[in-house]
Amino acid sequence: MLPELGHFALILALLLALVQAFFGIAGAHLRRDRWLAAVGPAVAGQFVMVATAIGCLVTAFVSHDFSVRYVAENSNSALPLFYRVTALWGAHEGSLLLWIFLLACWTLAVAVGAARLPPRFAARVLGVLGVVSCGFLLFTLATSNPFLRLIPAAPDGRDLNPILQDPALAIHPPILYTGYVGFAVAFAFACAAMLEGRLDQAWARWTRPWTTSAWAFLTVGIALGSWWAYYELGWGGFWFWDPVENASFMPWLVGTALVHSLAVTDKRGLFKSWTLLLAILAFSLSLLGTFLVRSGVLVSVHSFAADPTRGIFILVFLVLMIGGSLALYAWRAPLLRSAAGFELGARESFLLFNNILLVIAAAIVFGGTMAPLIADALGLPTLSVGTPYFNPTFLMPVLPLLALLPVGLHANWKKGRLRQKQRQILTALAAALVLSLAVSLGVFAQAKILTLVGLTLGPWIILSSLLDPLDRWRRQLSLSRSVLGMTTAHVGVGLFVIALTVVQSFTQEHDVALARGEKASVGGYEFRFEGVRGLEGANYEGVRGSVVVTRGTVPLGTLYPEKRRYFVQGTVTTEAAIQMTRGTNLLIALGDDLGAGRWSVRLQVRPLVSLVWLAALLMAIGGAVAGRDRRYRLARSPAEAAPAAAGAKQAAG
Amino acid sequence: MTPRRRRLSLVLGVLAGVAIAGGLTLRALRANVMFFFDPSQVLAGEAPRAERFRLGGMVEKGSVRRAPGSLEVNFVVTDFRHELPVRYTGVLPDLFREGQGVVAHGRIGAQGVFVADEVLAKHDEKYVPPEVARALKKEAATAAGGARTGS
């Protein structure tokens, strides 16, 4: 009964999304203000329906209802409860349902927050979100219904892919999708502004917190995915330039550009049409990312679904959404002139370079990701694009981007003079350079050009970001949340650059064949293999090796890498053992049984690798803080803000 | 700057950026992509002699041999028409098994042995790399065609 109820709820949600889209857009366009009243309830109703649907599917998973095909394919009676719930988004259909649910959440949040926006503008925003929701609901109902029955019911399920049975990956898709879907809100604001033919600084102020929050979610999502790849795929890399990773990275790059260009639109009323274009682009790439990963267009670690019949629908949907919004842009953007000018060397010009470089970086990733697909479609020889392409090309726009950051931070709006800041920036640069030389020569006793560049840029960005906040703190002035958030995010960027440089320059790894009692040493650490013994888990069996690690004469403990075989699908997974000592990650992965008690073992010493993810987290925290600045809340309605401020003053007094 | 000049410089900047990015991307792509070949193509001399490429096919049943006590492993990749011996030194991926699809990165070494520096066999046990699947399908088609002309 429940799966049918869920299916029915999805159909109702589609109808409500149609209501929301039609009355929102048409009502605002035809100036029928009474139509607008239907939009809010439609949003709320749609949320309830989608929540019901997702609730039904979760219930089916939790209660082992193997008469539902999707449950039978992605769950198993031996699967622990936590993974039974997260198995919901373990494959294509459920992921789409999750997407729709998160869109309903964001839409509801916009509807609540938009109560203070001009009613017609709010209706347009919600209407556009309704259109997006319609597309996804139609797609799900027509091609990817998760509620289909399996008759007769399967006696037991095929189990969730074992590499997905992991806490980080369990929460990775919802967070990543929250970011993807968040860009739908920025997209909807952009479309609403174009439909209205009006885009002012207030618009940017409304859009900024949504965009920044979405960006923060996307950052966390990508970092989680990379962390998972590091320890779960077992072989110790954290970024493979895999198409699936790129699919989430492209919207991130464009989203980062959007966050910065919105700042200019907000503060100076410039870059209007560029901002709109970025909003469209960020969301288009999010859509592309969702479909590339989940429709089997790309074959990679994560793409389990492969159904070309869905391709047509996706293509039509993409063309309608992206083409439609670009057509709207071509028609309406000329109305949105920016009047003000700025000098070269003013903050605007730095942010312009930031935007151009980020878009170039995104284009480079796009080129590398799409080239195999395009070659395939044109019938050219099958080719693959990997790290040898991405690493050097990606650095070309990113190095200047990082070098402009510490200078651009201190540039003034409109005027191209750095004034007294110049000396401080140069002092920071000198300090960073000394630090970089000290670290590479003193600690690691080697210096490559790129290592020195990275180790200089990182600290320079951090020092330069901290100049202003420290100055204000010393003078006991308050810091706004947006400045605090920006500083946090930029310090995150600096730390990220340092971590990445150190990891890339000083990682040491070695594959060895070891028998019981034999030793190998890598990067100053000594690893003694103590053999393996059998292992039994709830839904898997395997072997566990023990490796004793020492540095010099100091024992650092024993690590236990595992090799597991999951019963249901017969999949073998490598569970690497990881230990952190003084900022350096030691990773041990168990390879194959070579016979006669020997095992192949991968030993890896990666300094500072944890900082890569922590720095990404710091960027996201910065975004979250900046998105909650008071200015954005006050901006919604000056009329309401005034009494609120008065009330606050009273309360304080 | 006046708005007009600013707009002009913006447009020029964007154009220049896109052009540079496009040029560099194409250049890097040309230098760094790897092409895919199956054993039949390699034996027919279609694969490059000096460059790295991707070799795909099935790991022939019973062909995996390990050099005792070391990480060196030898196996044969087949497309069911021709076979190519492969040598690899290192840890094999979890899903590497005889009779399963595999993609190896490397180049042709001495005595026609493909020396792999990377072996990929991710995905589940039913997975066949798309290039391998296509190569095998092509084989099946030509085999069927051959049978028809033969009868």
- Least confident among A472-476, B97-101, B137-141: B137-141
Q: Is residue B147 over pLDDT 50? A: no
State residue A332's pLDDT score: 86
Q: What is the pLDDT of residues B69-117, one digit of tens each?
A: 788 899 999 888 889 999 998 888 877 888 878 888 898 988 889 999 8
CB contact under 8 A, B34 and A381: no
Task: For residue A547, give the 3-state DSSP assignment.
Answer: strand
Taking contacts as CB-CB distances below 8 angstroms, the residues of chain A near B70 are 513, 594
Q: Which of A341, A360, A393 sits opposite B6 (nearest CB)?
A: A341
Determine the residue of chain B that is closest to A296 in CA distance. Answer: B130
Q: What is the pLDDT of residues A124-179, one digit of tens each?
A: 999 999 999 999 999 999 988 999 998 888 888 888 878 788 888 889 999 999 99
Count CB neighbours of A418 within 10 A: 16
Task: For residue B57, give the 3-state DSSP assignment.
Answer: strand
Residues near A201 by beta carbon (within 8 Å), at least 6 away in sequence = A265, A266, A267, A269
Check if the interface score ipTM surpasses 0.90: no
**If residue A640 lies in a helix (H) or strand (E), which one and from where to where?**
helix A638-652
Domains of chain A: 1-160 (no CATH), 176-419 (no CATH), 509-609 (2.60.98)
Whether residue A60 contacts residue A3, with contact meaning beta carbons closer than 8 Å, is answered with yes
B127-132: average pLDDT? 54
| A367 in contact with chain B, both atoms CB, cutoff 8 A | yes
Q: Is residue A469 over pLDDT 80? A: yes
Q: Is the dihedral of CA A449, A450, A454, A455 positive or negative?
A: negative
State residue A488's pLDDT score: 96
- Tell me the residues of chain A between 265 and 284 that have a Cβ less than 8 Å away from chain B: 274
Q: Which of A340, A389, A572 sits opposite B28 (nearest CB)?
A: A389
Dist CA A15 CA A644 (whole Å): 39
Q: Is residue A415 over pLDDT 90? A: no
| B30 in contact with chain A, both atoms CB, cutoff 8 A | no
**Where do we find the tokens 């989203």?**
A255
| A345 in contact with chain B, both atoms CB, cutoff 8 A | no
CB contact under 8 A, A385 and B29: yes
Whether residue B60 contacts residue B86, with contact meaning beta carbons closer than 8 Å, is answered with no
Q: Strand locations in A330-439, DSSP E? A: 383-384
Dist CA A37 CA A39 (whole Å): 6
Dist CA A502 CA A607 (whole Å): 7
> Which residue type, as a one-letter code, is found at position A164?
L
Q: What is the pLDDT of residues A182-203, one digit of tens each?
A: 999 999 999 999 999 888 888 9
**Where do we find the tokens 């010493």?**
A605
Could you tell me which of A156, A385, A269 has the C-alpha nearest to residue B29? Answer: A385
Could you tell me which of A354, A225, A245, A361 has the C-alpha nearest to residue A292? Answer: A245
Residues in chain B: 151
Whether residue A614 contacts residue A505, with contact meaning beta carbons closer than 8 Å, is answered with no
> Which residue type, as a one-letter code, is found at position B1?
M
| A234 in contact with chain B, both atoms CB, cutoff 8 A | yes
Q: Is residue A401 over pLDDT 50? A: yes
- Tell me the residues of chain A between 92 and 121 that have a Cβ less than 8 Å away from chain B: none
Task: For residue B114, give the 3-state DSSP assignment.
Answer: strand
> Which residue type, as a one-letter code, is found at position A592?
D
Six token digits for residue B102: 């595999």
Dist CA A336 CA A203 (whole Å): 12
Dist CA A386 CA A384 (whole Å): 7
Task: Choose, out of A274, A349, A383, the residue to mutate when testing the contact with B (most B CBs < 10 Å).
Answer: A383
Q: Is residue A111 over pLDDT 60? A: yes
Residues near A320 by beta carbon (within 8 Å), at least 6 away in sequence = A135
Q: Number of A:B CB contacts under 8 A?
A: 123
State residue A113's pLDDT score: 87
Confidence class for position A405, pLDDT limits 50, 70, 90: very high
Determine the residue of chain A that is closest to B70 in CA distance. Answer: A513
Six token digits for residue A617: 């987290």
State residue B129's pLDDT score: 53
Whether residue A425 contacts residue A407, with contact meaning beta carbons closer than 8 Å, is answered with yes
Taking contacts as CB-CB distances below 8 angstroms, the residues of chain A near B122 are 300-301
CB contact under 8 A, B29 and A600: no
Taking contacts as CB-CB distances below 8 angstroms, the residues of chain B near A393 are 24-25, 28
**If residue B73 lies in a helix (H) or strand (E), which one and from where to where?**
strand B72-78
Task: For residue A29, give the 3-state DSSP assignment.
Answer: helix
State how beta strands B83-89 and B72-78 pair: antiparallel
Q: Which of B2, B6, B21 sits opposite A363 (nearest CB)?
A: B21
Dist CA A584 CA A382 (whole Å): 39
Task: For residue B123, give the 3-state DSSP assignment.
Answer: coil
Dist CA B93 CA A440 (whole Å): 34
**If residue B103 lies in a helix (H) or strand (E), which one and from where to where?**
strand B101-108
CB contact under 8 A, A384 and B24: no
User: What's the gap in Å between the CA of B111 and the closest CA on chain A?
Assistant: 26
Q: Which of A341, A356, A595 sits opposite B17 (nearest CB)?
A: A356
Between these two residues, B82 and A595, which has the higher pLDDT value? Answer: B82
Dist CA A91 CA A302 (whole Å): 9
Q: Is residue A238 over pLDDT 90? A: no
Q: Which of A301, A364, A594 sits opposite B66 (nearest CB)?
A: A594
CB contact under 8 A, A364 and B21: yes
Q: What is the pLDDT of residues A69-102, one digit of tens each?
A: 999 988 988 888 999 999 999 888 899 999 999 9
Q: Is residue A396 over pLDDT 50? A: yes
User: What's the gap in Å between the CA of B150 and the closest CA on chain A?
Assistant: 30
Whether residue A313 contacts residue A379, with contact meaning beta carbons closer than 8 Å, is answered with no
- Least confident among A128-142, A455-469, A547-561, A621-635: A621-635
Q: What is the pLDDT of residues B33-48, one digit of tens each?
A: 788 888 888 888 888 8
Six token digits for residue A303: 């793409």
Bridge partners of A261, per DSSP, are none
| A396 in contact with chain B, both atoms CB, cutoff 8 A | yes
State residue A645's pLDDT score: 41
Q: What is the pLDDT of residues A275-313, one digit of tens each?
A: 999 999 999 999 988 877 766 555 433 333 345 567 778
Taking contacts as CB-CB distances below 8 angstroms, the residues of chain B near A388 are 32
A346-368: average pLDDT? 91
Q: What's the whole-model pTM score?
A: 0.88
Residue A232 backbone zone (phi > 0: left; psi -120 to 50: alpha; other: beta): alpha
| A541 in contact with chain B, both atoms CB, cutoff 8 A | no
State residue A638's pLDDT score: 43
Task: Choose, out of B4, B6, B105, the residue to mutate when testing the contact with A (most A CBs < 10 Å).
Answer: B6
| A336 in contact with chain B, both atoms CB, cutoff 8 A | no
| B32 in contact with chain A, both atoms CB, cutoff 8 A | yes
CB contact under 8 A, A383 and B33: yes
CA geometry: angle A17, A19, A21, nearest 5 deg: 65
Between these two residues, A23 and A573, which has the higher pLDDT value? Answer: A23
| A378 in contact with chain B, both atoms CB, cutoff 8 A | no
Q: What is the pLDDT of residues A613-650, one digit of tens each?
A: 999 999 999 999 999 888 887 544 444 444 444 444 44
Dist CA A465 CA A462 (whole Å): 5
CB contact under 8 A, A392 and B25: no
Q: Is the dihedral of CA A30, A31, A33, A39 positive or negative?
A: positive
